[in-house]
């Protein structure tokens, strides 16, 4: 597990990764799985448009209306140039993210699970959150999502409460991770 992890870096996706981004997206769509941690990637057929969207989403001045500023990262395995995971860091809350969405969303490629990548990715993302200036982050997961719950707990998540999200018809557990 450590060997694979050691070949990975958390970076912002760029134009050198267009094919990899498309493959990552397709892997989820083909498997019929919801693509978390990738912002609006499910809606962008052209990865270039997604990269542009990510860039304008980073700043309050340019973020599309109704969305909060956020940063998009990928866990990139340098040994075979593969994107093994994606993670989004939302800088701020709006009414939805304050209650249901939280600061961070993530996913690991369906073929790359249970190798420690989610823990690795979240650990590094928390460092970015701390550097950004947050004292704590909120992460939510569906009650039935054991893998996500265990990822959050492994990274120091403290359970707060369980809430029902009508929009997604989902029961969500809320966890806080202290960064101080």
Which residues lie near ligand COA (CB under 6 A)?
36, 105-108, 113-119, 141, 145-148, 150-151, 154
Alpha carbon distances (Å) from 142 to 1, 45, 163, 175: 26, 27, 10, 11
Calpha distance 12→26 (Å, rounded): 19
The residue among 49 and 111 lying less far from ligand COA, judged by its C-beta, is 111
In the complex, least distance from residue 62 CB atom to ligand COA, rounded to whole angstroms = 26
Q: Which helix (H) or strand (E) holds 151?
A: helix 146-154
In the complex, least distance from residue 12 CB atom to ligand COA, rounded to whole angstroms = 19
The set of residues, in sequence order, having a beta carbon less than 8 Å from that of 100 and lying 6+ positions away, is 140, 163, 165, 167, 168, 172
For residues 139 and 169, the answer to whether their CB atoms sit within 8 Å is: no
In the complex, least distance from residue 71 CB atom to ligand COA, rounded to whole angstroms = 17
The residue among 46 and 146 lying less far from ligand COA, judged by its C-beta, is 146
The residue among 51 and 152 lying less far from ligand COA, judged by its C-beta, is 152
The residue among 53 and 109 lying less far from ligand COA, judged by its C-beta, is 109
- The dihedral over CA atoms of 125, 128, 134, 135, expressed in degrees to the nearest 10, equals 70
Place of tokens 């950004």: 132
In the complex, least distance from residue 129 CB atom to ligand COA, rounded to whole angstroms = 16
């Amino acid at each position: 597990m450590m060997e694979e992890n050691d070949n990975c870096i958390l970076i912002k996706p760029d134009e050198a990764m267009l094919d990899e981004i498309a493959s990552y997206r397709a892997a989820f769509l083909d498997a019929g799985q919801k693509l978390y941690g990738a912002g609006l990637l499910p809606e962008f057929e052209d990865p270039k448009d997604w990269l542009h969207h990510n860039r304008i989403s980073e700043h309050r001045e340019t973020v599309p209306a109704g969305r909060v500023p956020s940063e998009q990262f990928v866990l990139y395995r340098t040994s075979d140039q593969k994107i093994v995971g994606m993670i989004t860091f939302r800088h701020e809350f709006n009414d939805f993210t304050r209650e249901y969405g939280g600061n961070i969303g993530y996913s690991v490629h369906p073929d790359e699970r249970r190798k420690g990548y989610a823990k690795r990715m979240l650990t590094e993302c928390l460092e970015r959150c701390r550097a950004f200036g947050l004292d704590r982050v909120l992460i939510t997961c569906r009650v039935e999502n054991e893998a996500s719950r265990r990822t959050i707990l492994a990274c120091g998540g403290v359970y707060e409460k369980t809430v029902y999200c009508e929009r997604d018809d989902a029961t969500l557990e809320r966890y806080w991770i202290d960064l101080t």
